[in-house]
Structure 1
Amino acid sequence: MDKSTIGGLVAGWSFVCLAIALGGAGFGAYIDIPSVIIVLGGTLAVTAGQFEISELKRITPAMKIAFNEVKTEPLPELVEKITFYATEVKKHGVMQIEQKVLAENNPFFKEAFQLIVDGTKPEVLEPLLELKQEHIDKRHSTIISMFGNIGGTAGSMGMIGTLVGLVAMLANLSDPSAVGPAMAVALITTLYGALIGTLFAGIMENKLSRKHQIEMTACEVIISGASMIAAEESIGNIKMKLNAILVELPE
């Protein structure tokens, strides 16, 4: 499990609950069904209208990724592994690494080095892998943008709910008993929208974006390493270039 994702969600919601408890009004004052319908129902409806069904089905798997640790090996270890493969190819030939490649768990790494085993030329290998990386990037970017849209939509629906509540309140100023519920809708919908946008969608979007960035960098390292091995570059040049990619990563 990804402790930072879980910790951020739990801590964020806990602080909000603590503030409510210390506020003295109790949790009941913050539960309003019309507000839930406007914000949650409206957000789900708008999101469903913005994306294809095939894309919506990927929300749950994406959340699992956000809640779990990245399964790919650390980038420095990836560089060391590619250097090892390059050394084996230099010393014993490409067939020496065939069985090791078949046992790899990383699909992108496995495909890249299988191309080396098959004798693919570097001028063919690199464009093929870059095309695959581009498709991965597009697929990930779609689901990341979906959570961004959820956050923005939740905030907008909160504002819509506020306007609905204000209209209802102003229309019933002569009836004091109706002013309170209408005011509750006006205020609580904004709260619900902010909570969903910040303490759910915002966390999911940024965590998936960070993991995507790491995966794209890993793909870049693999493409560069595989291309240089196929081009029979020296071990020193391979390691130097791959380490240069890691230096460019933000801390």
Structure 2
Amino acid sequence: MDVGILGGLAIGLVAIVGSVLLDGGDLRAFLNLPAFLIIFGGTVGATMVTTSFKDTIRLPRLVKMALFPRVSLRPDEVIATLVDFAQTARKEGILALHYRMSANGVDPFLAKGLELVIDGADETIVREIMQTAIHSMKSRHAKGVDIFGIMGGYAPTMGIIGTVMGLVHVLSKLGEGTDSLGRGIAMAFLATFYGIFSANVLFLPMSGNLKAKSEEEVQMREVIMEGVLGIQSGLNPHMLEQRLRSYFSAKAS
């Protein structure tokens, strides 16, 4: 589980709730079901129009992916595996990699690249196929990132719409008396609060989180591709290791 998401959300909620309590406020005053329905219903509806129904219904799955990401490969483990395969290829030949992959659990993307090499595909074909796979993954991830970004853009606007609707409702009853005027205005502004809160504490941070995870996976696949191409070209295992480690250093700088 990604404790960063839950921890960040908890800190944000504690800060807001704490500020209300320290100021002597009542948390029940921040509960408004109509405002909640306007913000989240309107935001999801607008997002569905902007993207598609198919992409929008993936929201629960995207949240699950953010909270429970796949076990990512560690750079040291990836480099060690690629160097080990490079040593096998130099000592026993490219075909020996087939038996090594069968005996050990290998990352599917790495296995796909090595299978192309074993099948005799030239460097251009191997690079093109692996780059296409990386591009497809980036495009798929970008949809999830964009959905939360779109929701983060619409939520504050929906909050303003909800506030205007609330004010119209309050002012329409102004002639009936002013006893509940203050409470009505306060309730109307809750919609703006919900919109700003959901955008800046939920939707936009979730978009950034998914983007960071996607960039990390893309980086790892690019390194795997370079390792496969190095194995194909017969690069010295030590030189391959240095190349891959420098690649990580360049990405981090």
TM-score by length of 1: 0.91
Measure the CA separation in 1 of the matches of 2:86 and 2:106: 18
1:28 matched residue in structure 2: 28
Offset of residue 185 of structure 1 = 3.6
- Segments of 5+ residues of structure 1 without an aligned counterpart are none
The AA in structure 2 aligned to 1:246 is: F
2:100 matched residue in structure 1: 100
2:252 matched residue in structure 1: 250
Cα 1:242–1:185 change in 2 (3 A) is same
2:238 matched residue in structure 1: 236
Aligned residues: 251
2:56 matched residue in structure 1: 56
CA contact (8 A) 2:73 2:220 kept: no
- Segments of 5+ residues of structure 2 without an aligned counterpart are none
1:221 matched residue in structure 2: 223
Q: Secondary structure at the match of 2:72?
A: coil
2:178 matched residue in structure 1: 176
The AA in structure 1 aligned to 2:231 is: I
Q: Secondary structure at the match of 2:120?
A: coil
Q: Secondary structure at the match of 2:209?
A: helix
Superposed, 1:54-203 pairs within 5 Å as 54-102=54-102, 103-174=104-175, 175-203=177-205
The AA in structure 2 aligned to 1:94 is: I
Measure the CA separation in 2 of the matches of 1:29 and 1:57: 32
Offset of residue 134 of structure 1 = 0.5
The AA in structure 2 aligned to 1:138 is: S
Aligned to 1:209, which of 208, 211, 220? 211
Cα 1:199–1:78 change in 2 (3 A) is same
Give me the identity figure in percent.
24
Measure the CA separation in 1 of the matches of 2:56 and 2:155: 17
Q: Secondary structure at the match of 1:218?
A: helix
CA contact (8 A) 2:40 2:155 kept: yes
The AA in structure 2 aligned to 1:204 is: M
Measure the CA separation in 2 of the matches of 1:8 and 1:99: 46
Offset of residue 222 of structure 1 = 0.9
Q: Secondary structure at the match of 2:185?
A: helix
Q: Over residues 113-159 of structure 1, what are the superposed CA-to-partner deviations in whole Å (9 max), with x where a residue is unaligned?
A: 22222222211100000011111000000110101111111111112
Farther off after superposition, 116-125 or 96-105: 96-105
Offset of residue 105 of structure 1 = 5.0
TM-score by length of 2: 0.90
Q: Secondary structure at the match of 2:252?
A: coil
